[in-house]
Each structure stands twice: as structure tokens, then as C-alpha cells.
Structure 1
């Protein structure tokens, strides 16, 4: 090992409006007029979006 710093986890640069992790939770009113149409009769939904994450494993370090 040379003593050189190694990035193990890296998140590439993104624009300001793009996040590494985005979580959206929707709770629909089951008695509301749009429950069947807009929400497809789904009372609760969670949407998770995960953008690029680079994971680098070096054999010499992992086997130690």
C-alpha cells in the first residue's frame, strides 16, 4: 500500500436540482373525489429515487 488516498464511495457531481436521494410520500384522502382517478385507489404510496453512487473496492484492501 502506497499510502495514497483512495475514494471508496463517490457521488458524481450533479446539478443543483438533482439529489442523491429523493423520497416522496403521498397519502390520499380515500373519501376525496380524485381518489380513484388521480391516485388509482391507492391510499398511501412512497416513491424513492436514488441517483448514481460509485462504490470502488480494491482487492488488496478488501482481503485484509
Structure 2
């Protein structure tokens, strides 16, 4: 397997893949989202998204 490298910034060490996990989003008594996420379950991944991105500049570097 070929090592990953970002063509834009030259990063060869830190990369990420987006995933979704189960969590709760706090809502006020009007039903509006408060943007407070809690009770995150890191062991329950709902979905893995394929592209791999550079942590330094956010450029897609792989599938």
C-alpha cells in the first residue's frame, strides 16, 4: 500500500476520514437546537465516509 501524502501542503503524517457516531443534541423548550452535543458514543459508528483528508489543509488525498 502506498503511503499518503498531501500534494498541496506536503503533509505525510496526519490525515482523517469523516464518520458519524450516535450522540444527543440539546434542544430548548421552543424546539430550537442549542448546538450543544453530548452523550457521544464513540463505540457506535453509524457510517464511515470514504474520502481521506489532510489534517493540515483539508485537501482530499485519497478515497
Q: TM-score, normalization: structure 1?
A: 0.23
- The structure carrying a bigger helix percent of its residues is 1
- The structure carrying a bigger strand percent of its residues is 2
Q: TM-score, normalization: structure 2?
A: 0.23
Q: Name the larger-Rg structure.
A: 1
